[in-house]
Structure 1
Amino acid sequence: MFVPLSALGLATPPPATDPDEVRLRSLLGTADVVVVHVDLLDGAALHEGLLPLVARLAGERAVPVVVLAGVSEVSRREWSTGGLSGVHEVGADVGGRGDAVARAARTWAPRWSTTAAAGEAG
């Protein structure tokens, strides 16, 4: 049985005052997945800056966070502990990046989702 502490009145998060957090919370309200791009995913990027904030806020809503990294220097254990659901290296080659992004998108947005949308339109 899962009962959130907030439902018991034991913990209430303070209202967000950071403009980045307020904006992210509003965007996460309708998100099914969050995709973040970084040139380098290393220990610093995993624990400092906006990525940990995104992971924390998405985790509150059980929304997966996927990182598209030019280069990843962290292990699966490290990034999963950091609240990330997936990491895809897209490389530094800007010309080939579109293909890498498309492959990652197919992983997180399966074909049936685009088929269902096309069926509803027709």
Structure 2
Amino acid sequence: MINRIIFVDDDTIQHMINKKNLMRLKPELELFFFENPYKALEWLESNQADMLILDVNMPEMRGWDFLDLMNAKGIKMEVKMLTSSMDPEDIQTSMNYDMVSGFLIKPLKNEIMAEILEIEN
């Protein structure tokens, strides 16, 4: 069951939209949003979440670099990669990471969020 989700994405508008939509679907969710991937890694070192939704392309670092740092720090959790375009190379790269369970396309649709949360929408 998904109760805590951490988002790492440099797009603050997407954070607001996702928060509003997710809280409508499941008000008891605990959501954590980070624009800075380094601060998100620091948070993950001492906190836990059920799922990470991670942007593939960010100015500070690519999502793949973030996953490499997670592995180096021993942080394990389910990860959904967030992207605005499905690049076949990204799909191929994701196969190198056991924790990546799929891709989500921006903007997140309510049906997809409900599916992630296992809620009938």
Scaled to the shorter chain, the TM-score interval is 0.3 to 0.5
Query: Could you state the TM-score of these two structures normalised by the residue count of structure 2?
Result: 0.44
Where relative contact order (Cα < 8 A, 6+ residues apart) is larger, the structure is 2
**Bigger strand fraction:** 2
Query: Could you state the TM-score of these two structures normalised by the residue count of structure 1?
Result: 0.44
**Bigger helix fraction:** 1
